[in-house]
Structure 1
């Protein structure tokens, strides 16, 4: 159990705000001093911004936090028949910042699917289309060649994807999460209930086969995104649960091979959701990164 108190899902949902993005009703959260440095938190697949609930209060004590449930996720709109795209999700992050009148450089903390959105924002930074102050990646598929999808992800991408999505259930979520969380940091039944509630909202399973198109999309943009990470000029760190079968120690090894002066932290025994499994460690390593940035 985390020593950080976290936020109950009902309380979290009650704090959510709404805005319109390209005709879709979106939910977002803000916290902290509006004059503090902005920190954008970008969640992963298939969950939502509540993933950050353990880190929310301690980070809000220092930074201006911004997070939204992306299109197709959590309490935001989940349009049927939509061609979901990581590039559109990056547009969403920029639209949210514009909605909040944030024009200066933004720090980013991302996880999983959110890592790909952050990579796109990093590429846009180098193209002078976004101002990125720093970026920290938690477990995610930074390199398509090291990404090892779980069975349900492979099935969602297959011709039977729509059926697999519709049949996705809390029981199947529990089975998937049991494999990707660390052996000693498994989610509780109540956490699984909450994750499932966010996924099931607005008939979420019906669009999962469309959201999963991010996996081939990552391959399309690989060169641009990897070269953006290699360019330098923006402080980057990877904080990674080493026991994650999807993007654990093997992904970090690839990162170290491809990125000069790679700043990486491996969390032993932790799986795919370090911000849920070991939030104190993630907080410690994130704050140390920001401290070094401030001193440097």
Structure 2
């Protein structure tokens, strides 16, 4: 049975706000139980999780925010955005909500790098992470691939590319990374563009894109956090994703001891919107495993 969609107009009415380092951040929280922190990708926002939101809130206390520079949160034009600061933001949100117990992470794309930093902080005893599941994330910079638009945003003309970035550009780039039969509707694309365009978002895209070289700079720290053990991990991957699909999945198996992976056939870069029922099933199965569980090498779906 398909999962119910939460329209963006409804999603926005449910947001709350807090201030992080002088900037307005929009966040969502619902449900009871163990805290589950959802971390969205680039260049979208927390609405990406809307298919999974209701079933997850029936089981956990679910928390998500639009990170600084994304969605309906502040997008200061002269700010130096970084994944490190986004990890600080997540910890500030947990503190704002007075959550002190171990937190579970579910992360996609850009959010996967933020989750890696949170895992590193767990190993430094600065945060307690109970588990982490990644969806199509660029966890290893040596295997990351980029779209032409990303390369242009990283160039000296990136500021100009960002300022001229429009809905058609978003559609052209987003549809390249979906599965052949799982493309978003025109209505969904309108909503994605609304989130990117909010608060004059295109003018900061060339600053947000610096997460790509930042991944390389922190490669040893963040890959080491995956390899260290002590926290249960799973990677769920839409294998036809050209950015972080089958090739990233294979590299993860080679680099992470006793890698727990799930391959979603025919699914691209956004498995939580392309195949939310499958993602939910594999996530809940992961959470139901006993702590002594020894992961299998691979699961197929």
1:186 aligns with 2:183: yes
1:210 aligns with 2:179: no
1:38 aligns with 2:35: yes
Moved over 3 A (4+): 293-296
Partners in 2 of 1:214 and 1:81 — Cα distance?
16
The residue aligned with 1:68 is: 65
1:131 aligns with 2:93: no
Residue 237 (structure 1) shift: 0.1
Query: Does the CA-based 8 Å contact 1:239-1:266 persist in structure 2?
Result: yes
| SS of match in other structure, 1:75 | coil
The residue aligned with 1:279 is: 276
| SS of match in other structure, 1:181 | coil
TM-score by length of 2: 0.96
Partners in 2 of 1:291 and 1:15 — Cα distance?
29
1:101 aligns with 2:98: yes
Residue 6 (structure 1) shift: 1.6
| SS of match in other structure, 1:185 | coil
Residue 206 (structure 1) shift: 0.1
1:265 aligns with 2:262: yes
Partners in 2 of 1:282 and 1:72 — Cα distance?
27
Partners in 2 of 1:276 and 1:163 — Cα distance?
30
Change (3 A) 1:188 1:106: same
Residue 81 (structure 1) shift: 1.1
TM-score by length of 1: 0.98
The residue aligned with 1:3 is: 2
The residue aligned with 1:111 is: 108
Residue 294 (structure 1) shift: 5.8
Partners in 2 of 1:99 and 1:18 — Cα distance?
10
| SS of match in other structure, 1:4 | coil
The residue aligned with 2:76 is: 79
Residue 13 (structure 1) shift: 0.1
The residue aligned with 1:170 is: 167
Partners in 1 of 2:16 and 2:248 — Cα distance?
35
Partners in 1 of 2:4 and 2:92 — Cα distance?
31
The residue aligned with 1:146 is: 143
Query: Does the CA-based 8 Å contact 1:186-1:277 persist in structure 2?
Result: yes
Query: Does the CA-based 8 Å contact 1:6-1:56 persist in structure 2?
Result: no
Partners in 1 of 2:183 and 2:45 — Cα distance?
18
Query: Does the CA-based 8 Å contact 1:86-1:217 persist in structure 2?
Result: yes
| SS of match in other structure, 2:75 | coil
**Which 5+ residue runs of structure 2 have no aligned equivalent?**
294-301
Partners in 1 of 2:282 and 2:139 — Cα distance?
19
Partners in 2 of 1:116 and 1:59 — Cα distance?
22
The residue aligned with 2:153 is: 156
Residue 293 (structure 1) shift: 3.9
Partners in 1 of 2:125 and 2:23 — Cα distance?
27
Partners in 1 of 2:142 and 2:201 — Cα distance?
28
